[in-house]
Structure 1
Amino acid sequence: MTISDTHVPFQLPKEVFSNYIGKIDILQINGDVVDCFSLSKFDRVYRISPMDEIIQARQYLIELIEYLYPKKVVINFGNHDQRFERYLSKNLDSDVLELMPKTSLELICEDGFHHYDKRNHTKVWYEPLKNIFNDIEMQYIDNWFYQIGQTIFCHPLAFNGQPMKTAEKAMYFFRNEGYEFSSLVMAHTHRIGQYSIGNTDLFEQGCCCDTSKMNYSDGKLVNSQREGFLFLGQDKDGKIIKYKQERLN
Protein backbone atom coordinates (compact mmCIF):
# COMPACT_ATOMS: atom_id res chain seq x y z
CA MET A 1 0.00 0.00 0.00
CA THR A 2 1.24 3.47 -0.81
CA ILE A 3 0.15 6.69 0.86
CA SER A 4 1.49 10.20 0.42
CA ASP A 5 1.05 13.86 1.23
CA THR A 6 0.00 13.55 4.85
CA HIS A 7 1.29 17.10 5.40
CA VAL A 8 1.49 16.82 9.18
CA PRO A 9 -0.08 18.64 11.09
CA PHE A 10 -2.94 18.40 8.54
CA GLN A 11 -2.93 14.59 8.32
CA LEU A 12 -6.05 12.47 8.12
CA PRO A 13 -6.65 10.12 11.08
CA LYS A 14 -5.08 6.68 10.81
CA GLU A 15 -8.53 5.10 10.97
CA VAL A 16 -9.14 5.94 7.28
CA PHE A 17 -6.83 2.97 6.53
CA SER A 18 -8.73 0.54 8.79
CA ASN A 19 -9.63 -1.89 5.96
CA TYR A 20 -5.96 -2.73 5.50
CA ILE A 21 -4.90 -3.58 9.05
CA GLY A 22 -2.61 -6.60 8.93
CA LYS A 23 -2.97 -6.98 5.14
CA ILE A 24 0.12 -5.08 4.00
CA ASP A 25 3.52 -6.49 3.14
CA ILE A 26 5.05 -3.08 2.35
CA LEU A 27 3.80 0.32 3.48
CA GLN A 28 5.31 2.80 1.03
CA ILE A 29 5.12 6.45 2.11
CA ASN A 30 5.63 8.59 -0.98
CA GLY A 31 6.78 11.92 0.42
CA ASP A 32 5.43 15.09 2.02
CA VAL A 33 5.05 13.50 5.43
CA VAL A 34 5.68 16.90 7.02
CA ASP A 35 4.16 20.11 5.66
CA CYS A 36 6.94 22.42 6.92
CA PHE A 37 4.16 24.97 7.23
CA SER A 38 6.18 27.59 9.08
CA LEU A 39 9.00 27.36 6.50
CA SER A 40 6.71 28.01 3.53
CA LYS A 41 7.23 30.95 1.18
CA PHE A 42 3.44 31.35 1.05
CA ASP A 43 1.51 33.70 3.33
CA ARG A 44 0.47 32.25 6.70
CA VAL A 45 -2.29 33.41 9.02
CA TYR A 46 -0.83 31.48 11.97
CA ARG A 47 2.43 29.73 12.81
CA ILE A 48 3.38 26.20 13.82
CA SER A 49 6.97 25.69 14.94
CA PRO A 50 9.14 23.31 12.86
CA MET A 51 9.99 21.32 16.00
CA ASP A 52 6.31 20.80 16.82
CA GLU A 53 5.73 19.52 13.28
CA ILE A 54 8.64 17.10 13.50
CA ILE A 55 7.48 15.72 16.86
CA GLN A 56 3.90 15.37 15.57
CA ALA A 57 5.07 13.67 12.37
CA ARG A 58 7.19 11.19 14.30
CA GLN A 59 4.28 10.32 16.60
CA TYR A 60 1.88 10.00 13.66
CA LEU A 61 4.22 7.59 11.85
CA ILE A 62 4.65 5.49 14.99
CA GLU A 63 0.89 5.25 15.51
CA LEU A 64 0.24 4.55 11.82
CA ILE A 65 2.83 1.76 11.63
CA GLU A 66 1.60 0.17 14.87
CA TYR A 67 -1.98 0.40 13.56
CA LEU A 68 -1.38 -1.14 10.11
CA TYR A 69 1.43 -3.47 11.19
CA PRO A 70 3.13 -3.99 7.80
CA LYS A 71 6.15 -6.24 7.34
CA LYS A 72 8.22 -3.39 5.93
CA VAL A 73 8.04 0.41 5.70
CA VAL A 74 9.72 2.40 2.92
CA ILE A 75 9.74 6.21 3.08
CA ASN A 76 11.05 8.70 0.51
CA PHE A 77 10.86 12.48 0.72
CA GLY A 78 8.72 15.01 -1.18
CA ASN A 79 8.96 18.67 -2.06
CA HIS A 80 7.51 19.87 1.27
CA ASP A 81 10.01 17.74 3.18
CA GLN A 82 12.75 19.53 1.21
CA ARG A 83 11.60 22.91 2.55
CA PHE A 84 13.68 22.02 5.61
CA GLU A 85 16.96 22.09 3.67
CA ARG A 86 16.01 25.09 1.55
CA TYR A 87 15.22 27.12 4.66
CA LEU A 88 18.47 26.15 6.36
CA SER A 89 20.51 26.91 3.24
CA LYS A 90 19.11 30.45 3.17
CA ASN A 91 19.68 31.11 6.87
CA LEU A 92 22.84 29.22 7.83
CA ASP A 93 26.45 29.53 6.80
CA SER A 94 27.48 26.77 4.40
CA ASP A 95 29.97 25.37 6.93
CA VAL A 96 27.20 24.97 9.51
CA LEU A 97 24.85 23.55 6.88
CA GLU A 98 27.15 20.55 6.50
CA LEU A 99 26.14 19.50 10.01
CA MET A 100 22.44 19.35 9.10
CA PRO A 101 20.38 16.67 7.30
CA LYS A 102 18.57 17.22 4.02
CA THR A 103 15.09 16.71 5.48
CA SER A 104 13.47 16.30 8.88
CA LEU A 105 12.55 12.74 7.81
CA GLU A 106 16.21 11.83 8.17
CA LEU A 107 16.03 12.92 11.82
CA ILE A 108 12.75 11.08 12.39
CA CYS A 109 13.71 7.83 10.66
CA GLU A 110 17.49 7.50 10.85
CA ASP A 111 19.27 9.78 13.30
CA GLY A 112 16.88 10.75 16.08
CA PHE A 113 16.89 14.25 17.54
CA HIS A 114 16.86 16.36 20.69
CA HIS A 115 14.24 18.96 21.52
CA TYR A 116 15.86 21.75 23.49
CA ASP A 117 13.11 23.54 25.39
CA LYS A 118 14.78 26.82 26.37
CA ARG A 119 11.77 28.08 28.31
CA ASN A 120 11.56 25.07 30.61
CA HIS A 121 15.30 24.28 30.56
CA THR A 122 14.73 20.71 29.39
CA LYS A 123 16.25 18.46 26.73
CA VAL A 124 14.21 15.54 25.35
CA TRP A 125 15.68 12.82 23.13
CA TYR A 126 13.47 11.28 20.42
CA GLU A 127 14.61 7.86 19.24
CA PRO A 128 14.70 7.26 15.45
CA LEU A 129 12.02 5.00 14.00
CA LYS A 130 14.59 2.42 12.92
CA ASN A 131 15.26 1.71 16.62
CA ILE A 132 11.62 1.50 17.67
CA PHE A 133 10.25 -1.41 15.63
CA ASN A 134 12.11 -4.67 16.20
CA ASP A 135 9.91 -6.85 13.97
CA ILE A 136 9.19 -4.34 11.16
CA GLU A 137 11.88 -3.45 8.63
CA MET A 138 12.32 0.32 8.28
CA GLN A 139 13.94 1.83 5.19
CA TYR A 140 14.37 5.56 4.63
CA ILE A 141 15.25 6.56 1.06
CA ASP A 142 17.16 9.83 0.87
CA ASN A 143 15.63 10.65 -2.50
CA TRP A 144 12.37 11.76 -4.14
CA PHE A 145 11.73 8.40 -5.82
CA TYR A 146 12.18 4.69 -5.22
CA GLN A 147 11.52 1.53 -7.21
CA ILE A 148 9.88 -1.58 -5.78
CA GLY A 149 9.67 -4.42 -8.26
CA GLN A 150 8.52 -2.98 -11.58
CA THR A 151 6.90 0.07 -9.96
CA ILE A 152 8.48 3.50 -9.51
CA PHE A 153 7.09 5.63 -6.68
CA CYS A 154 7.95 9.31 -7.05
CA HIS A 155 7.35 12.74 -5.57
CA PRO A 156 8.97 15.36 -7.84
CA LEU A 157 9.09 19.14 -7.71
CA ALA A 158 7.41 19.39 -11.13
CA PHE A 159 3.66 19.89 -11.41
CA ASN A 160 1.22 20.04 -14.32
CA GLY A 161 -2.36 21.13 -13.66
CA GLN A 162 -3.78 18.84 -16.34
CA PRO A 163 -4.94 15.43 -15.06
CA MET A 164 -2.24 12.74 -15.21
CA LYS A 165 0.22 14.94 -17.12
CA THR A 166 2.65 15.08 -14.18
CA ALA A 167 2.75 11.28 -14.10
CA GLU A 168 3.20 11.13 -17.86
CA LYS A 169 6.10 13.58 -17.73
CA ALA A 170 7.72 11.52 -14.96
CA MET A 171 7.36 8.35 -17.04
CA TYR A 172 9.26 9.91 -19.95
CA PHE A 173 11.91 11.25 -17.56
CA PHE A 174 12.63 7.83 -16.06
CA ARG A 175 12.57 6.18 -19.49
CA ASN A 176 15.15 8.67 -20.73
CA GLU A 177 17.28 7.99 -17.64
CA GLY A 178 17.37 4.29 -18.48
CA TYR A 179 15.08 2.90 -15.78
CA GLU A 180 13.17 -0.29 -16.56
CA PHE A 181 9.65 -0.36 -15.11
CA SER A 182 6.08 -1.23 -16.03
CA SER A 183 4.20 1.11 -13.68
CA LEU A 184 4.63 4.49 -12.01
CA VAL A 185 2.87 5.96 -8.97
CA MET A 186 2.84 9.74 -8.67
CA ALA A 187 2.35 11.60 -5.39
CA HIS A 188 2.48 15.43 -5.12
CA THR A 189 -0.47 16.35 -7.37
CA HIS A 190 -3.24 15.72 -4.80
CA ARG A 191 -5.21 14.13 -7.66
CA ILE A 192 -6.50 10.60 -8.27
CA GLY A 193 -6.31 8.96 -11.67
CA GLN A 194 -5.06 6.06 -13.75
CA TYR A 195 -4.34 5.33 -17.38
CA SER A 196 -1.83 3.43 -19.47
CA ILE A 197 0.64 4.51 -22.12
CA GLY A 198 1.78 1.50 -24.10
CA ASN A 199 2.75 -1.17 -21.60
CA THR A 200 3.17 1.27 -18.68
CA ASP A 201 0.46 1.87 -16.08
CA LEU A 202 0.39 5.37 -14.57
CA PHE A 203 -1.27 6.31 -11.28
CA GLU A 204 -1.82 9.54 -9.38
CA GLN A 205 -2.50 8.43 -5.84
CA GLY A 206 -4.25 11.37 -4.15
CA CYS A 207 -3.30 12.80 -0.75
CA CYS A 208 -3.81 11.80 2.88
CA CYS A 209 -4.29 15.25 4.39
CA ASP A 210 -7.39 17.25 5.25
CA THR A 211 -7.73 19.22 2.01
CA SER A 212 -10.17 21.66 3.60
CA LYS A 213 -7.15 23.03 5.50
CA MET A 214 -4.82 23.03 2.48
CA ASN A 215 -6.07 25.96 0.43
CA TYR A 216 -3.03 26.42 -1.81
CA SER A 217 -5.19 27.09 -4.87
CA ASP A 218 -8.07 28.98 -3.29
CA GLY A 219 -9.43 31.43 -5.87
CA LYS A 220 -7.18 30.13 -8.67
CA LEU A 221 -10.01 28.18 -10.36
CA VAL A 222 -8.21 24.85 -10.45
CA ASN A 223 -9.69 21.39 -9.87
CA SER A 224 -10.31 20.34 -6.28
CA GLN A 225 -7.75 18.25 -4.40
CA ARG A 226 -8.58 14.59 -3.91
CA GLU A 227 -7.94 12.66 -0.71
CA GLY A 228 -7.00 9.04 -1.24
CA PHE A 229 -4.36 6.33 -1.45
CA LEU A 230 -3.46 3.29 -3.52
CA PHE A 231 -3.32 -0.43 -2.77
CA LEU A 232 -1.18 -2.50 -5.15
CA GLY A 233 -0.55 -6.21 -5.57
CA GLN A 234 2.57 -7.40 -7.40
CA ASP A 235 3.49 -10.84 -8.74
CA LYS A 236 6.83 -12.55 -8.11
CA ASP A 237 8.38 -10.55 -10.98
CA GLY A 238 7.28 -7.23 -9.46
CA LYS A 239 4.53 -6.50 -11.98
CA ILE A 240 1.15 -5.17 -10.82
CA ILE A 241 -1.55 -7.83 -10.93
CA LYS A 242 -4.23 -5.91 -9.01
CA TYR A 243 -4.84 -2.46 -7.61
CA LYS A 244 -7.48 -0.45 -5.79
CA GLN A 245 -7.64 3.33 -5.66
CA GLU A 246 -9.27 4.43 -2.42
CA ARG A 247 -11.06 7.79 -2.54
CA LEU A 248 -11.61 9.55 0.76
CA ASN A 249 -13.51 12.68 -0.34
Structure 2
Amino acid sequence: MPKKEVPVKGFTKVNIARQYRDKWGMEMPTLTLARIMYKENDLAFKNIEDARSVLRGIEGKNNYGCVVTHQAPERPKNPYKLPESDEREWLPYILTGFKKVGILSDIHVPYHSITAITAALDNFVKIGIDCLLLDGDLIDFYGLSKYEKDPKKRSVPDEIDKLGELLNQLNNILKCKLLYKLGNHDERYDNFIMRKAPELYGLPDIKFETLINNRVEGIEFIGDKRIIQANALDIIHGHEFVQGIFSPVNVARGLSLRAKTNAVQGHNHQTSEHSEPNLRGEIKTTWSLGCNCELHPEYMPINKWNHGYATLELDSNGIDFSFKNYRVKNGKTL
Protein backbone atom coordinates (compact mmCIF):
# COMPACT_ATOMS: atom_id res chain seq x y z
CA MET A 1 0.00 0.00 0.00
CA PRO A 2 1.46 3.40 -0.96
CA LYS A 3 2.76 5.50 1.87
CA LYS A 4 0.82 8.60 2.81
CA GLU A 5 2.68 11.85 2.35
CA VAL A 6 3.06 13.66 5.68
CA PRO A 7 2.71 17.47 5.44
CA VAL A 8 5.57 19.32 7.12
CA LYS A 9 5.20 23.08 7.47
CA GLY A 10 3.02 23.21 4.37
CA PHE A 11 5.25 20.85 2.39
CA THR A 12 5.14 17.12 1.93
CA LYS A 13 8.20 14.92 1.95
CA VAL A 14 7.80 14.46 -1.79
CA ASN A 15 7.72 18.21 -2.42
CA ILE A 16 10.85 18.66 -0.33
CA ALA A 17 12.57 15.91 -2.31
CA ARG A 18 11.58 17.53 -5.60
CA GLN A 19 12.87 20.93 -4.49
CA TYR A 20 16.22 19.47 -3.46
CA ARG A 21 16.58 17.48 -6.68
CA ASP A 22 15.79 20.62 -8.69
CA LYS A 23 18.38 22.58 -6.71
CA TRP A 24 21.20 20.05 -6.85
CA GLY A 25 20.47 18.42 -10.20
CA MET A 26 20.44 14.78 -11.23
CA GLU A 27 24.23 14.48 -11.10
CA MET A 28 24.31 14.35 -7.29
CA PRO A 29 24.11 10.77 -5.95
CA THR A 30 20.82 9.93 -4.25
CA LEU A 31 22.39 8.95 -0.94
CA THR A 32 24.48 12.13 -0.79
CA LEU A 33 21.42 14.26 -1.44
CA ALA A 34 19.43 12.29 1.14
CA ARG A 35 22.03 13.14 3.78
CA ILE A 36 21.71 16.85 2.94
CA MET A 37 17.91 16.67 3.01
CA TYR A 38 17.83 14.93 6.37
CA LYS A 39 20.38 17.30 7.91
CA GLU A 40 18.36 20.36 6.86
CA ASN A 41 14.90 18.80 7.42
CA ASP A 42 15.30 16.42 10.36
CA LEU A 43 11.73 17.09 11.50
CA ALA A 44 10.35 15.93 8.16
CA PHE A 45 12.24 12.67 7.82
CA LYS A 46 12.80 9.88 10.33
CA ASN A 47 16.33 9.25 9.18
CA ILE A 48 18.59 9.35 6.13
CA GLU A 49 17.08 6.18 4.73
CA ASP A 50 13.60 7.74 4.94
CA ALA A 51 14.82 10.73 2.90
CA ARG A 52 16.54 8.40 0.44
CA SER A 53 13.37 6.38 -0.02
CA VAL A 54 11.40 9.49 -0.98
CA LEU A 55 14.11 10.55 -3.43
CA ARG A 56 14.06 7.11 -5.00
CA GLY A 57 10.30 7.47 -5.35
CA ILE A 58 10.42 10.68 -7.40
CA GLU A 59 13.23 9.11 -9.47
CA GLY A 60 11.17 6.02 -10.30
CA LYS A 61 13.46 3.64 -8.43
CA ASN A 62 10.87 2.21 -6.02
CA ASN A 63 7.13 2.01 -5.45
CA TYR A 64 6.81 4.95 -3.06
CA GLY A 65 3.43 5.90 -4.48
CA CYS A 66 4.17 9.34 -5.92
CA VAL A 67 4.43 10.72 -9.43
CA VAL A 68 7.87 10.20 -10.97
CA THR A 69 9.07 13.72 -11.81
CA HIS A 70 12.84 13.22 -11.88
CA GLN A 71 13.42 10.06 -13.86
CA ALA A 72 16.88 8.72 -13.09
CA PRO A 73 19.03 8.00 -16.15
CA GLU A 74 19.48 4.33 -16.88
CA ARG A 75 22.77 3.05 -15.55
CA PRO A 76 25.08 1.05 -17.81
CA LYS A 77 24.83 -2.68 -17.21
CA ASN A 78 27.64 -4.27 -15.23
CA PRO A 79 26.74 -7.94 -14.74
CA TYR A 80 30.31 -8.88 -13.83
CA LYS A 81 30.64 -6.17 -11.16
CA LEU A 82 33.69 -4.58 -12.77
CA PRO A 83 35.31 -1.67 -10.89
CA GLU A 84 33.60 1.70 -11.28
CA SER A 85 34.97 3.61 -14.27
CA ASP A 86 35.77 7.30 -14.71
CA GLU A 87 34.87 7.03 -18.39
CA ARG A 88 32.97 10.09 -19.62
CA GLU A 89 30.64 10.51 -22.54
CA TRP A 90 31.95 12.75 -25.33
CA LEU A 91 29.18 13.85 -27.67
CA PRO A 92 29.06 16.27 -30.61
CA TYR A 93 27.28 19.60 -30.37
CA ILE A 94 24.25 19.51 -32.68
CA LEU A 95 23.74 22.87 -34.39
CA THR A 96 20.03 22.98 -35.16
CA GLY A 97 17.14 25.43 -35.26
CA PHE A 98 18.95 28.01 -37.41
CA LYS A 99 18.76 28.83 -41.13
CA LYS A 100 21.64 31.23 -41.77
CA VAL A 101 24.85 31.01 -39.77
CA GLY A 102 27.80 33.39 -39.93
CA ILE A 103 31.22 31.99 -39.00
CA LEU A 104 34.19 33.98 -37.70
CA SER A 105 37.41 32.35 -36.60
CA ASP A 106 40.75 33.37 -35.09
CA ILE A 107 40.07 36.95 -34.02
CA HIS A 108 42.81 36.91 -31.36
CA VAL A 109 41.67 39.94 -29.33
CA PRO A 110 43.40 42.38 -28.76
CA TYR A 111 45.17 41.79 -32.10
CA HIS A 112 41.91 41.71 -34.05
CA SER A 113 41.55 43.23 -37.51
CA ILE A 114 38.81 45.86 -37.47
CA THR A 115 38.67 46.00 -41.28
CA ALA A 116 38.33 42.22 -41.66
CA ILE A 117 35.62 41.91 -39.01
CA THR A 118 33.77 44.90 -40.48
CA ALA A 119 33.71 43.26 -43.92
CA ALA A 120 32.24 40.11 -42.40
CA LEU A 121 29.63 42.03 -40.40
CA ASP A 122 28.55 43.92 -43.52
CA ASN A 123 27.68 40.61 -45.18
CA PHE A 124 26.13 39.08 -42.06
CA VAL A 125 23.80 42.07 -41.67
CA LYS A 126 22.98 42.03 -45.38
CA ILE A 127 21.90 38.37 -45.50
CA GLY A 128 20.32 38.42 -42.02
CA ILE A 129 22.03 35.62 -40.10
CA ASP A 130 20.18 34.14 -37.13
CA CYS A 131 23.28 32.62 -35.52
CA LEU A 132 26.94 33.63 -35.26
CA LEU A 133 29.43 30.83 -34.68
CA LEU A 134 32.72 32.08 -33.25
CA ASP A 135 34.97 29.19 -34.21
CA GLY A 136 37.77 29.49 -31.70
CA ASP A 137 40.71 31.70 -30.74
CA LEU A 138 38.64 34.81 -30.11
CA ILE A 139 41.15 35.91 -27.49
CA ASP A 140 44.92 35.64 -27.73
CA PHE A 141 45.90 35.36 -24.04
CA TYR A 142 49.40 36.50 -24.94
CA GLY A 143 50.32 36.84 -21.26
CA LEU A 144 49.48 33.18 -20.61
CA SER A 145 51.60 31.83 -23.44
CA LYS A 146 54.32 29.33 -22.54
CA TYR A 147 56.66 31.14 -24.93
CA GLU A 148 58.78 34.21 -24.19
CA LYS A 149 56.63 37.28 -23.60
CA ASP A 150 57.07 41.02 -24.05
CA PRO A 151 56.13 42.63 -20.69
CA LYS A 152 54.93 45.75 -22.53
CA LYS A 153 52.06 43.85 -24.15
CA ARG A 154 48.50 44.01 -22.81
CA SER A 155 47.73 42.26 -19.52
CA VAL A 156 45.34 39.32 -19.22
CA PRO A 157 42.58 41.42 -17.55
CA ASP A 158 42.87 43.95 -20.39
CA GLU A 159 42.43 41.20 -22.97
CA ILE A 160 39.36 39.79 -21.20
CA ASP A 161 37.76 43.24 -20.92
CA LYS A 162 38.46 43.92 -24.61
CA LEU A 163 36.88 40.60 -25.58
CA GLY A 164 33.81 41.48 -23.52
CA GLU A 165 33.51 44.77 -25.42
CA LEU A 166 33.70 42.98 -28.76
CA LEU A 167 31.11 40.35 -27.84
CA ASN A 168 28.70 43.00 -26.58
CA GLN A 169 29.08 44.87 -29.86
CA LEU A 170 28.40 41.70 -31.86
CA ASN A 171 25.28 41.15 -29.75
CA ASN A 172 24.09 44.71 -30.36
CA ILE A 173 24.77 44.63 -34.10
CA LEU A 174 23.56 41.17 -35.09
CA LYS A 175 20.89 40.51 -32.45
CA CYS A 176 21.18 36.77 -32.96
CA LYS A 177 22.39 33.66 -31.14
CA LEU A 178 26.13 33.71 -30.34
CA LEU A 179 27.97 30.38 -30.09
CA TYR A 180 31.54 30.41 -28.79
CA LYS A 181 33.63 27.32 -29.61
CA LEU A 182 36.81 27.30 -27.58
CA GLY A 183 40.09 27.11 -29.50
CA ASN A 184 43.60 26.48 -28.23
CA HIS A 185 44.19 30.14 -27.32
CA ASP A 186 40.84 30.37 -25.50
CA GLU A 187 41.82 27.30 -23.49
CA ARG A 188 45.05 28.94 -22.29
CA TYR A 189 43.30 30.52 -19.29
CA ASP A 190 41.80 27.36 -17.78
CA ASN A 191 44.95 25.40 -18.63
CA PHE A 192 47.03 28.03 -16.81
CA ILE A 193 44.85 27.71 -13.69
CA MET A 194 45.10 23.93 -13.91
CA ARG A 195 48.91 24.07 -14.02
CA LYS A 196 49.58 26.89 -11.56
CA ALA A 197 46.69 26.57 -9.09
CA PRO A 198 45.04 23.15 -9.50
CA GLU A 199 43.34 23.53 -6.10
CA LEU A 200 41.25 26.37 -7.56
CA TYR A 201 40.48 24.77 -10.91
CA GLY A 202 37.08 23.41 -9.91
CA LEU A 203 35.74 26.75 -8.66
CA PRO A 204 33.16 27.99 -11.20
CA ASP A 205 33.73 31.66 -10.35
CA ILE A 206 37.23 31.71 -11.81
CA LYS A 207 36.58 29.72 -14.98
CA PHE A 208 36.95 31.48 -18.32
CA GLU A 209 33.30 30.97 -19.24
CA THR A 210 32.20 32.64 -16.00
CA LEU A 211 34.46 35.65 -16.60
CA ILE A 212 32.90 36.16 -20.02
CA ASN A 213 29.32 35.52 -18.89
CA ASN A 214 29.79 38.20 -16.22
CA ARG A 215 30.52 40.68 -19.02
CA VAL A 216 28.22 39.49 -21.81
CA GLU A 217 24.72 38.01 -21.86
CA GLY A 218 23.53 35.10 -23.95
CA ILE A 219 26.83 33.48 -24.95
CA GLU A 220 26.71 29.68 -25.31
CA PHE A 221 30.08 27.98 -24.98
CA ILE A 222 31.16 24.81 -26.77
CA GLY A 223 34.18 23.29 -25.05
CA ASP A 224 35.89 19.93 -24.57
CA LYS A 225 37.10 20.02 -28.20
CA ARG A 226 33.60 18.91 -29.24
CA ILE A 227 32.77 18.54 -32.91
CA ILE A 228 29.91 20.74 -34.11
CA GLN A 229 27.49 18.89 -36.39
CA ALA A 230 25.54 21.20 -38.70
CA ASN A 231 23.41 18.91 -40.88
CA ALA A 232 25.98 16.92 -42.93
CA LEU A 233 28.83 19.33 -42.12
CA ASP A 234 31.26 18.87 -39.23
CA ILE A 235 32.90 21.99 -37.77
CA ILE A 236 36.03 22.08 -35.63
CA HIS A 237 38.48 24.79 -34.64
CA GLY A 238 41.47 22.78 -35.86
CA HIS A 239 43.41 21.97 -32.70
CA GLU A 240 41.30 18.92 -31.91
CA PHE A 241 43.67 16.53 -33.68
CA VAL A 242 46.58 15.87 -31.32
CA GLN A 243 49.16 15.72 -34.11
CA GLY A 244 47.65 18.62 -36.00
CA ILE A 245 46.72 18.77 -39.68
CA PHE A 246 49.34 17.56 -42.17
CA SER A 247 48.85 19.84 -45.18
CA PRO A 248 51.35 19.21 -47.99
CA VAL A 249 48.94 20.82 -50.49
CA ASN A 250 46.73 23.06 -48.35
CA VAL A 251 44.91 22.97 -45.02
CA ALA A 252 41.62 21.74 -46.50
CA ARG A 253 43.40 18.80 -48.16
CA GLY A 254 44.99 17.89 -44.82
CA LEU A 255 41.60 18.12 -43.11
CA SER A 256 40.11 15.84 -45.76
CA LEU A 257 42.72 13.18 -45.00
CA ARG A 258 41.85 13.30 -41.29
CA ALA A 259 38.09 13.96 -41.25
CA LYS A 260 36.91 11.76 -44.16
CA THR A 261 33.70 13.81 -44.33
CA ASN A 262 32.37 17.28 -45.11
CA ALA A 263 34.20 19.49 -42.64
CA VAL A 264 35.46 23.00 -41.94
CA GLN A 265 38.13 24.35 -39.61
CA GLY A 266 39.90 27.57 -38.64
CA HIS A 267 43.17 27.60 -36.67
CA ASN A 268 45.60 27.82 -39.60
CA HIS A 269 44.52 31.32 -40.74
CA GLN A 270 44.34 30.25 -44.41
CA THR A 271 41.40 30.03 -46.80
CA SER A 272 41.35 26.79 -48.79
CA GLU A 273 38.98 24.19 -50.23
CA HIS A 274 39.30 20.57 -51.26
CA SER A 275 36.74 18.20 -52.82
CA GLU A 276 36.88 14.48 -53.57
CA PRO A 277 34.18 12.08 -54.81
CA ASN A 278 33.92 8.67 -53.18
CA LEU A 279 33.04 5.33 -54.80
CA ARG A 280 29.34 6.14 -54.52
CA GLY A 281 29.75 9.41 -56.37
CA GLU A 282 29.18 11.46 -53.23
CA ILE A 283 31.30 14.60 -53.10
CA LYS A 284 33.00 15.27 -49.77
CA THR A 285 34.33 18.80 -49.36
CA THR A 286 36.51 20.35 -46.70
CA TRP A 287 37.29 24.01 -46.08
CA SER A 288 39.69 26.03 -43.98
CA LEU A 289 38.91 29.57 -42.86
CA GLY A 290 40.88 32.77 -43.05
CA CYS A 291 41.58 34.65 -39.83
CA ASN A 292 40.38 38.01 -38.48
CA CYS A 293 43.54 39.12 -36.68
CA GLU A 294 46.75 40.92 -37.64
CA LEU A 295 48.48 39.16 -40.52
CA HIS A 296 52.10 39.77 -39.60
CA PRO A 297 52.66 39.24 -35.86
CA GLU A 298 56.09 39.70 -34.32
CA TYR A 299 56.62 36.00 -33.73
CA MET A 300 55.92 35.07 -37.40
CA PRO A 301 55.81 38.09 -39.73
CA ILE A 302 56.30 35.97 -42.86
CA ASN A 303 53.47 33.47 -43.33
CA LYS A 304 50.64 32.35 -45.62
CA TRP A 305 47.79 33.92 -43.68
CA ASN A 306 44.79 35.77 -45.08
CA HIS A 307 41.62 37.33 -43.72
CA GLY A 308 38.31 35.56 -44.22
CA TYR A 309 34.96 34.34 -42.90
CA ALA A 310 32.13 32.04 -43.97
CA THR A 311 28.36 31.73 -44.18
CA LEU A 312 26.36 28.54 -43.79
CA GLU A 313 22.75 27.90 -44.81
CA LEU A 314 21.08 24.86 -43.26
CA ASP A 315 18.21 23.01 -44.92
CA SER A 316 15.31 22.02 -42.69
CA ASN A 317 15.71 18.37 -43.80
CA GLY A 318 18.63 18.09 -41.37
CA ILE A 319 21.09 16.95 -44.07
CA ASP A 320 21.68 19.46 -46.85
CA PHE A 321 23.67 22.66 -46.44
CA SER A 322 25.22 25.46 -48.48
CA PHE A 323 28.65 26.74 -47.41
CA LYS A 324 30.38 29.86 -48.74
CA ASN A 325 33.99 30.56 -47.82
CA TYR A 326 35.00 34.20 -48.28
CA ARG A 327 38.38 35.89 -48.46
CA VAL A 328 38.86 39.49 -47.36
CA LYS A 329 41.48 41.82 -48.85
CA ASN A 330 41.96 45.44 -47.78
CA GLY A 331 38.65 45.37 -45.95
CA LYS A 332 36.67 44.07 -48.95
CA THR A 333 35.00 40.70 -49.36
CA LEU A 334 36.32 38.86 -52.41
TM-score normalised according to structure 1 size: 0.75
Q: Identity rate of aligned residues, in percent?
A: 23
Tell me, yes or no, if structure 1 residue 146 matches structure 2 residue 265. Answer: no
Tell me, yes or no, if structure 1 residue 168 matches structure 2 residue 256. Answer: yes
CA distance in structure 2 between the partners assigned to 1:15 and 1:90 by the alignment: 37
| CA apart distance, 1:101 | 7.3
Aligned to 2:61: none
CA distance in structure 1 between the partners assigned to 2:169 and 2:258 by the alignment: 32
Contact 1:147–1:153 (8 Å) recurs in 2: yes
Aligned to 1:156: 238
Aligned to 1:177: none
Aligned to 1:191: 270
Change (3 A) 1:18 1:37: same
AA at the equivalent of 2:109: V
CA distance in structure 1 between the partners assigned to 2:257 and 2:194 by the alignment: 29
Aligned to 2:315: 235
How many residues get paired? 211
Aligned to 1:42: 147
Higher relative contact order (CA 8 A, sep 6+): 1
AA at the equivalent of 2:264: V
Aligned to 2:171: 65
Tell me, yes or no, if structure 1 residue 226 matches structure 2 residue 306. Answer: yes
| CA apart distance, 1:12 | 2.0
Tell me, yes or no, if structure 1 residue 18 matches structure 2 residue 118. Answer: no
The unaligned stretches of length 5 or more in structure 2 are 1-101, 278-282, 330-334
The unaligned stretches of length 5 or more in structure 1 are 113-125, 131-137, 173-181
Bigger Cα Rg = 2
Structure with the higher strand share, 1 or 2: 1
Aligned to 2:290: 206
CA distance in structure 2 between the partners assigned to 1:190 and 1:140 by the alignment: 22
Change (3 A) 1:32 1:66: same
CA distance in structure 1 between the partners assigned to 2:168 and 2:328 by the alignment: 22
Change (3 A) 1:50 1:91: same
AA at the equivalent of 1:32: D
SS at match of 1:232: strand
SS at match of 2:178: strand
Aligned to 1:115: none
TM-score normalised according to structure 2 size: 0.57
| CA apart distance, 1:26 | 1.7
CA distance in structure 2 between the partners assigned to 1:108 and 1:156 by the alignment: 22
Aligned to 1:7: 108
Which digits, 9 at most, give the CA deviation of each residue in 1:19-68, with x for residues without a partner? 22151022111011110111112223332211111111011011023223
CA distance in structure 1 between the partners assigned to 2:135 and 2:318 by the alignment: 18
| CA apart distance, 1:160 | 3.4
CA distance in structure 2 between the partners assigned to 1:160 and 1:103 by the alignment: 32
RMSD, matched Cα: 2.4
| CA apart distance, 1:143 | 3.0
Choose the corresponding residue for 2:208, options 104, 125, 131.
104
